[in-house]
Amino acid sequence: MTLELDRELATLRAALRAMAESAQTRLATALEAWMTWDIDLAQSIRTADDEIDQLEVNIENECMAILAKHSPVASDLRYVVAALRINTSFERIADLARSVAKRVIRLDRDDQHPTPPQALETMGEAVKEMLSNTMRALENRDVELARFVRKSDAFVDDRNREVFEWVAESTHKEPARAEAFISVLMIARSLERIGDICANIAEDIMFAVGGSIVRHTPA
C-alpha cells in the first residue's frame, strides 16, 4: 500500500464515520420527537437534508478517485466497493428518519396523538442499538459483531408484526382514527426498513473484511 493510498483510505474512513454519525443523530432525534411530540425536533430533521446529501456525494467521489488513481486490490478494493454501498445505506437511513419526523408533524397538525404500543417503543430502541453496533463493527472491522447485527434484524421484524396487529385491532375498534393508526404503522415500517439496512451494512462489512458474500443466505 502506498502512503498516498493509505492517507486517502483514512480520509474515506473518516468521511464514512461522519456520515454514519449524522444518520445516527437523525434517527435518535426522530425517535425522541415521536416519543415526546416535540415538533421543533421533528422540523429540524425535515429541513436538514443538505448536509447528509453533500456527505454522500463527497464519499462517492472519494471512492471513485481511489479506484481511478490507485487500482486497489484485495482488502483495499473490497473496502472501497463496500464503502460505496454503505454510503448509500447511511443516506437511506437518514431519509427514513426524516420520514418518521414527517409523520410526527402530520399527526400533530391533524391534532392526532395516538398512544403507540409498547412494541413500537421497543422496536425503536432495538433499531438504535442495531445502528450503533453497525457503526462499531464498521469502525473496528468486527465480523462477529456484524453477524450479530444481521441476526438482530429478526427481533425488529417480530416487533413490526406486533405493531401491525395493534394497528389492525385499533382501527377495528376506532375506525374514525384509522388515518392516525396508519401513520403509526408507517413509522414502524420506516424503523423496520432501517433494521433491514443495518443488516445489509453488516453484510457489506463481512465482505470488506473477509471477502465472504452472505447476501441472500440465512442469518
**DSSP 3-state assignment of 8?**
helix
Contact criterion met (CB below 8 Å) for 103 and 183: yes
Which has the closest alpha carbon to 137: 209, 73, 197? Answer: 209
Alpha carbon distance 186, 103 (integer Å): 8
Predicted TM-score (pTM) of the model is 0.94
Domain ranges in the chain are: 3-210
Contact criterion met (CB below 8 Å) for 133 and 24: no
Q: How many residues does the chain have?
A: 219
User: pLDDT at position 49, please?
Assistant: 72
Helices marked H in the chain = 3-36, 39-46, 49-70, 74-109, 118-140, 143-173, 178-210
Cell (9 digits) for 130: 442495531
Alpha carbon distance 76, 101 (integer Å): 37
Which has the closest alpha carbon to 27: 126, 116, 117? Answer: 126
Alpha carbon distance 77, 64 (integer Å): 11
Cell (9 digits) for 32: 425522541
Ordered per-residue pLDDT tens for the chain, 219 residues: 588 999 999 999 999 999 999 999 999 999 999 999 999 999 998 766 778 889 999 999 999 999 999 999 999 999 999 999 999 999 999 999 999 999 999 999 888 888 889 999 999 999 999 999 999 999 999 999 999 999 999 999 999 999 999 999 999 999 999 999 999 999 999 999 999 999 999 999 999 998 877 777 777
Q: What is the SS3 string spanning 179-202?
A: HHHHHHHHHHHHHHHHHHHHHHHH
Q: Which residues, in sequence order, are CB contacts of 9 under 8 Å at separation 6+?
A: 1, 66, 76, 79, 80
| Cell 492517507, residue located | 7
Q: May I ask the CATH architecture of the domain 3-210?
A: Up-down Bundle (1.20)
**DSSP 3-state assignment of 175?**
helix
Contact criterion met (CB below 8 Å) for 60 and 87: yes
Residue type, 153: D
Contact criterion met (CB below 8 Å) for 62 and 12: yes
